[in-house]
Amino acid sequence: MTRPLRPLAVLGAMVVALLLFLSWRKTAAPTAVPALPNVPATGAVTEPKAPAARAANPSNAATAVAAPADSGSPDVRPTGTSAFVPTIPRNAGSPSVAPMLQFTNLPPAAALDSVRTAVRSYGSMFGGNPVGTNPEITAALNGGNPKQANFIRPEAGMRINGKGELVDPWGTPYFFHQLSGTETEVRSAGPDGIMWTTDDLVSR
């Protein structure tokens, strides 16, 4: 009697196992397949291209550099072009980073020598060097004298800022020290923009 029941038990167990297997396949989550890169026919992988950088607006760049001439600053070029140089901030806190020259390709020492020559030429014409502050001396050299003689030469690296001051190639006003009636010391702050430091340029 027990022998006919054994095949039925085995068959029932197989049916139960099949039902459990089918139920597990339906509830199992599908495995995510990572996206493959775009592979051309040659086999090389094509990387996505970065978006092109937006071109700088040339009008903005021009606005950042150009500055209107000060109505109080005289035009020192005989050709009619202004010698006004805009003030551009410099990183004076980092002496190791030398700023670029603002308005001339001449060596700074040559520009300083041009200022010294202008002061001496004025002294030879009027029997004594101009005296006063930088704006006062600049005005005297720029035609503010009895003969209205102009000693400012922009082509020699001499420039006047919006405050009427003669400035060095880095845009810092020169310091004039009257040693005597015929001798004037002219000092440039040098690339760090700070007076009385080791990179100053001095001429007399």
pLDDT in tens, 81-92: 334 444 444 444
116, 203 Cβ separation under 8 angstroms: yes
Position 23 pLDDT exceeds 80: no
For residues 34-41, average pLDDT: 51
22 has pLDDT over 70 = yes
- What pTM value is reported for the model? 0.53
**Average pLDDT, whole number, for the chain?**
74
Per-residue pLDDT at 12? 79
**Can you give the length of the chain in residues?**
204
Contacts of residue 148, Cβ cutoff 8 Å, sequence gap at least 6: none
Mean pLDDT confidence for 184-193: 95
User: What sign does the CA torsion over 170, 171, 176, 182 have?
Assistant: positive
Task: Tell me what pLDDT residue 146 has.
Answer: 95
Greater confidence (50 vs 82) lies with: 50
Q: Find out whether 154 and 76 touch, Cβ atoms under 8 Å.
A: yes
Q: Which of 75, 190, 189, 184 is nearest to 132 (CA)?
A: 184
Q: How far apart are CA 185 and CA 204, in angstroms?
A: 4
CATH ID of 105-204, from 1.20.120.80, 2.40.160.20, 3.40.50.720, 3.30.700.10: 3.30.700.10
The pLDDT score that the predictor gives to residue 9 is 77
The token duo for 84 is 């006004």
